[in-house]
């Protein structure tokens, strides 16, 4: 017999810890190689860890709800192989394979305290944010109320409030004489989704007859918080434009069957929209930016996020990195791969990070248009409406005529702090121009 430590695997740049949401096995239970044994969650994505080998789960070291760090041992697996036969190797795929290492007998498992850095141990959560004892004591000493504390931006890579963050906040508060708890309710509402001021009473919420209470799942809570935060941070403006995409539709209908037979890939409209958006972002690079207080960060890479609906009804946004370096076939392959794995809950955390511009497709659900919410920290999001046959006036050599055309509405929500109406309008019109002037003779 041999024993193997199952550790929390690396899950992408910037991810240092994850929450154990659910153990799928019990102590003493037999498992097979690659069988999912535990569900984990970061603030970006949910995932599963498989068993590195067949064997018996001897000991579960980290309980549900706990937050181990990358590399921490979460369970002990007893295998049927002899100690000398164990070979520690890299995971077989890029998926979230468990990290493994051999345990020499005798073994006494040690559960380490979960720490966010060398000096500060996290012992509790406070209004949805982790606090170290030091930060908690400072907050109590300075009489920082919960809603005020939630307004402080944490600068650690997990968003946690550090000692430096709270001291800087206190210094600023002393210099201005302003604190959140003394401000009007309209300002208090601009903290987080959890702290948003309730404008109706409990009686009003539960009035209207019979009802059923459905608790938000973890992902829905994250989405709700992110959406409220975006509206609080960015002054949204939405522009609309109509596009005649007849040539694009006819080209796609003509080529989709041959492309799928040759490439074993579905040719949907999404890659064509992404291609047009990438071209427009090259023309208008000031839309491919983020904002840091009074600084504009112009992104050199074009990373396109594509909003994807999940079977659960939730939404996730996988990112096509360096989309400007891909040809149309490459974009098609990336779109299909990310969408499929998103629906199967197999995305890695770094595959939903680093987006610089997002596209969301209302047309998938038969909607002609919509006003999307910006995916922070980006400054714009493109909404795609459904493609509909409509009578339209077209120019012909013999004059204007009415013909049946494929028409769609594009919408662009943008952050008016840095994207003015002129820039937003020109960018959106450029996207429409690329779609309308689609080359019907192009090869793929």
Domain architecture of the chain: domains with CATH: 2-103 (2.40.50.100), 124-213 (4.10.320.10), 220-436 (3.30.559.10)
The catalytic position among 117, 217, 340, 420 is 420
pLDDT category at 110 given cuts 50, 70, 90 is: very low
E strand or H helix at 281: helix 270-283
E strand or H helix at 339: helix 328-343
pLDDT category at 86 given cuts 50, 70, 90 is: very low
Bridge partners, 316 (sequence order)? 308
pLDDT in tens, 129-184: 556 667 777 887 787 776 577 667 776 555 667 777 788 778 776 554 444 433 33
Q: What is the rounded distance in angstroms from the CA atom of residue 186 to the CA atom of residue 79?
A: 60
* pLDDT value of position 58: 92
pLDDT in tens, 394-440: 998 999 999 999 999 999 999 999 999 999 999 999 999 999 999 99
Q: What is the rounded distance in angstroms from the CA atom of residue 210 to the CA atom of residue 236?
A: 36
pLDDT in tens, 332-389: 999 999 999 998 888 888 898 899 999 999 999 999 999 999 999 999 999 999 999 9
The catalytic position among 225, 226, 416, 433 is 416
Whether residue 190 has pLDDT greater than 70: no
Q: In the chain, pLDDT over 70 holds for what percent of residues?
A: 77
* pLDDT value of position 132: 64
pLDDT category at 115 given cuts 50, 70, 90 is: very low
pLDDT in tens, 314-334: 889 999 999 999 999 999 999
Pick from 37-51, 102-116, 161-175: least confident: 102-116
Q: What is the rounded distance in angstroms from the CA atom of residue 195 to the CA atom of residue 35?
A: 40
Whether residue 15 has pLDDT greater than 50: yes
Phi/psi zone of residue 91: left (φ > 0), alpha (ψ -120 to 50 degrees), beta?
A: beta
Would you call 236 a catalytic residue per the annotation? no
Collapsing DSSP states into helix, strand and coil, what is residue 89? coil
pLDDT category at 111 given cuts 50, 70, 90 is: very low
Intra-chain end-to-end CA distance of the chain, in Å? 56
Going from the C-alpha of 155 to that of each of 141, 177, 223, 225, the distances in angstroms are 22, 23, 21, 18
Radius of gyration of the chain (CA): 26
* pLDDT value of position 156: 59
């Amino acid at each position: 017999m041999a024993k193997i430590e199952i550790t929390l695997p690396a899950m992408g740049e910037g991810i240092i810890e994850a929450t154990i949401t659910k153990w799928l096995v019990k102590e003493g239970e037999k498992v097979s190689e690659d069988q999912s044994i535990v569900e984990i969650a970061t603030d970006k994505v949910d995932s599963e860890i498989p068993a590195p080998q067949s064997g018996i789960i001897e000991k579960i070291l980290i309980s549900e709800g706990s937050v181990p760090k990358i590399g921490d041992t979460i369970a002990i697996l007893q295998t049927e192989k002899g100690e000398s036969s164990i070979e520690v190797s890299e995971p077989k795929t890029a998926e979230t394979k468990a990290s493994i290492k051999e345990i020499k007998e005798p073994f006494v498992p040690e559960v380490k305290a979960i720490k966010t850095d060398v000096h500060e141990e996290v012992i509790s959560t406070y209004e949805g944010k982790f606090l170290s004892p030091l930060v908690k004591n400072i907050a109590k000493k300075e009489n920082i109320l919960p809603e005020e504390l939630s307004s402080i931006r944490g600068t650690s890579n997990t968003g946690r409030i550090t000692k430096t963050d709270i001291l800087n906040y206190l210094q600023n508060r002393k210099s201005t004489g302003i604190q959140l708890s003394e401000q009007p309710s309209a300002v208090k509402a601009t903290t987080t989704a959890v702290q948003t001021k309730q404008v109706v009473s409990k009686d009003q919420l539960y009035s209207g007859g019979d009802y059923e209470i459905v608790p938000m799942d973890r992902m829905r809570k994250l989405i709700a918080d992110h959406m409220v935060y975006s509206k609080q941070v960015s002054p949204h403006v939405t522009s609309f434009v109509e596009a005649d995409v007849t040539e694009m539709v006819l080209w796609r209908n003509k080529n989709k069957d041959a492309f799928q037979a040759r490439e074993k890939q579905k040719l949907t409209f999404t890659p064509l929209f992404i291609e047009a958006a990438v071209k427009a972002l090259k023309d208008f690079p000031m839309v491919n930016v983020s904002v840091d207080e009074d600084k504009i960060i112009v992104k050199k890479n074009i990373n396109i996020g594509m909003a994807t609906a999940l079977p659960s009804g939730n939404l996730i946004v996988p990112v096509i990195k360096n989309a400007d370096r891909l040809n149309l076939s490459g974009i098609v392959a990336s779109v299909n791969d990310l969408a499929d794995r998103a629906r199967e809950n197999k995305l890695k955390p770094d595959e939903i990070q680093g987006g610089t511009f997002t596209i969301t497709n209302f047309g998938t659900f038969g909607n002609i248009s919509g006003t999307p919410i910006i995916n922070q920290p980006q400054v714009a999001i493109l909404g795609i409406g459904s493609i509909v046959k409509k009578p339209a006036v077209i120019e012909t050599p013999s004059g204007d005529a009415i013909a049946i055309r494929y028409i769609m509405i594009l919408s662009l929500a943008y952050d008016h702090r840095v994207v003015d109406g002129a820039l937003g309008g020109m960018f959106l019109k450029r996207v429409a121009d690329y779609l309308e002037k689609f080359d019907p003779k192009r090869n793929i």
